[in-house]
């Protein structure tokens, strides 16, 4: 039996309170505090950004060169944007016109 197999039965025998206590005992896996949440930057959801710009999914996807299927997956929660995509969405949210113009200039 491997070590993994040896641990599995013990975990199953633990009560939910014991599992939580064990998790909180891990210094690398502490829950976020209210202060942590306040200082963390937030990226608005892509649907919120798109609606604020009064664009359809098709218009938003075309304007910002995001595959329509990807945009729909993000909005419907099937997938989430990766870190580069989150950065791109932050830039769109802060200055959508600048992003639009920059992308138009690359098409020439």
Rounded Cα distance between 51 and 25, Å, is: 43
Architecture of domain 46-106 in CATH?
Orthogonal Bundle (1.10)
Residue span(s) of the chain under CATH 1.10.260.40 come to 46-106
For 36-86, the pLDDT digits (tens) are 888 876 667 999 999 999 999 999 999 999 999 999 999 998 999 999 999
For 36-46, the pLDDT digits (tens) are 888 876 667 99
Full-model pTM? 0.61
Find the Cα–Cα–Cα–Cα dihedral 48, 50, 54, 60, rounded to 10°. Answer: -170
């Amino acid at each position: 039996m491997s070590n993994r197999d040896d641990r599995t039965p013990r975990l199953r025998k633990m009560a939910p309170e014991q599992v939580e206590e064990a998790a909180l005992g891990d210094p690398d896996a502490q829950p976020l505090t209210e202060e942590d949440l306040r200082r963390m930057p937030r990226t608005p959801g892509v649907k919120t950004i798109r609606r604020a710009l009064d664009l359809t999914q098709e218009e938003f996807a075309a304007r910002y060169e995001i595959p329509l299927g990807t945009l729909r997956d993000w909005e419907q929660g099937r997938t989430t944007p990766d870190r580069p995509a989150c950065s791109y969405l932050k830039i769109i949210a802060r200055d959508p016109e600048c992003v639009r113009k920059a992308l138009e200039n690359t098409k020439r």
